[in-house]
Amino acid sequence: MPSARQEFGAEAEKLVAQWYEDNGYFILDRNWRCAEGEIDLILRRDRVVVFCEVKARTNTDFGLPVEAVTTSKQWKIRKTARRWVTENGAPIAGELRFDIASVLNDEISLLEDAF
């Protein structure tokens, strides 16, 4: 049974996924895992493939959600994305983009091309 924290994170991911779909993106994968790590959302719009890390918090006591995506986390996401592209036959894309979606009290703040 998922913990309250896991359920909170899952709800935030659903909220962000819906935002992307409402803005013309197609979801390719959700919570894609491999030995290198996990990517919350993998999306596509036109020729852009987006790898999105979703961070959610109920308050800013420990900073903004986006601040949780450290340099080492960015490196891990890039490595995982490289594996996804390899395993999925490198979809024809003009661009790969890494976004961070912060969810704070059900409000989404999206940082496109974050790293």
Domain range list for the chain:
4-111
Is the pLDDT at 92 greater than 70? The verdict is no
Lowest mean pLDDT among 65-74, 75-84, 92-101: 92-101
Comparing CA positions, the residue from 60, 67, 70 lying closest to residue 104 is 60
- Tell me the pTM: 0.93
| CATH class in words for 4-111 | alpha beta
Backbone angles phi, psi at 75, to 5 degrees: -60, -45
